[in-house]
Amino acid sequence: MLNAMSGEIAHVIDQEQGDNLTLNGRSYAEFLTLIPGAVVTNPDQFGTLTSLSATSQSINGHRTNQNSLTVDGVGNLDNGSNGSLINNVSPDFLQEVKIQTSNFSAQYGRSAGAAFNIGTKYGTNALHGGAFEYLRNDAVDARNFFSPNLTDLRYNDWGYYLAARSRRTDSSSSSGRTGRRSGSNRRHRGLRCRLRRWLETSEPA
């Protein structure tokens, strides 16, 4: 679609597209890596996604800490470092994502890089919600043919969201919460070893 009102170069991702895009670690900052001109500067993506770092990509050659990230128009970067997210919003709460990379309005002139704004979901007339958990665990992974062992991996991402309309104030609202946990998986590997030994000793002679 041709925009006759502005010469900006922007990329919009709607809710349906956002629901169907696979994001590593379910971090909304991964949307920045999908646009033309984006270069991932940190090869340790798992290490980046388990933190609040927002400096793992460069847009159109700008420095990695020169992107402006906002949520519903409010800044979402730590002013002290300009490289850490204040709130890592779950993709389940996103209504629309807009990334402006060039010729955008002066209202987005805080940084020299891309202007990255996400719009969160709003309430509805009826009460609805959901709960989720995404699991990555080496207990269900296959071993690489050339690797003698499985790489330790444990990553859980869980949460819930609710949306409703208040009859008292006649306004709609939405709310939710997410949690993440990551680390090594030695305990699960020990359980697998004990289970294997039990199966071997339980086999009939």
- pLDDT digits over 176-203, tens only? 888 777 765 444 445 455 545 554 555 5
112: nearest Cα among 76, 82, 74:
82
Contact between residue 118 and residue 88 where contact means Cβ atoms under 8 Å apart:
no
Quote the CA–CA distance of 123 and 160 in Å, as a whole number. Answer: 15
CA distance readout (Å), 162 to 89, 117, 128, 179, 201: 15, 22, 6, 16, 50
Please report, for the chain, the start and end positions of each structural domain, with discontinuous segments joined by +: 9-120, 128-202
- Asked whether residue 60 carries a pLDDT value surpassing 50, the answer given is yes
Q: What is the pTM of this model?
A: 0.71
Contact between residue 132 and residue 92 where contact means Cβ atoms under 8 Å apart:
yes
Q: Each residue of 79-133: pLDDT tens digit?
A: 776 578 888 888 888 889 999 888 888 887 778 888 899 988 876 777 878 888 8
Q: Each residue of 2-33: pLDDT tens digit?
A: 677 777 888 888 888 888 887 877 788 888 88
CATH number belonging to domain 9-120: 2.170.130.10
